[in-house]
Amino acid sequence: METDAAAVWLMIVLGGVVTFLIRFVPLQLMGRNLNDRTREIMSFVPPAVLSALVANSLFDHGIRSLSPHNQKLWAALAALLVGLRFKNVIVTIVTGMVCLWLLNFLLTA
């Protein structure tokens, strides 16, 4: 089955619109006056989602992903250490990406 580029872009845009609406509409109906407890709970959503995405990427092959040959795991460890030390998101992301690129380059060459 062949899908043309316009259909793919349409699905991406529609998916983005639906995702935006299911988050935006309830907040607009409740108004800006969320109580403190709700705000506190909602502040944990972005780190939880990011953690789930990172864990899914790191352990995409199950327990075998814990092997010392997993470049993603070493890059994530380097990013974790830099993140804990400097507490800067940009520096942490750049460190992780550079480590991953270097490891891929060195180990696949």
Structural domain span for residue 7: 1-33
Number of domains composing the chain:
2
Q: What is the predicted pLDDT for the residue at 97?
A: 96
Q: Are 3 and 56 within one domain?
A: no
Is residue 56 domain-shared with residue 28, that is, in the same domain? no
Is residue 85, in this structure, part of any structural domain at all? Answer: yes
- 34: helix, coil or strand? coil
Q: Is residue 40 part of a domain?
A: no
Domain match, 87 and 52 both: yes
Label residues 53-64 b or e (16+ Cβ within 10 Å = b): eeeeebeeeeee
Tell me whether residue 88 is in a domain.
yes
CA 63 to CA 60: how far, in whole Å?
9
What pLDDT does 14 receive?
Answer: 96
pLDDT band at 55, cuts 50/70/90?
Answer: confident
Residue 54 — very low, low, confident or very high, per pLDDT cuts 50/70/90? confident
Q: What's the mean per-residue pLDDT of the chain?
A: 88
Mean pLDDT of 18-40: 84
Same domain, 29 and 55: no
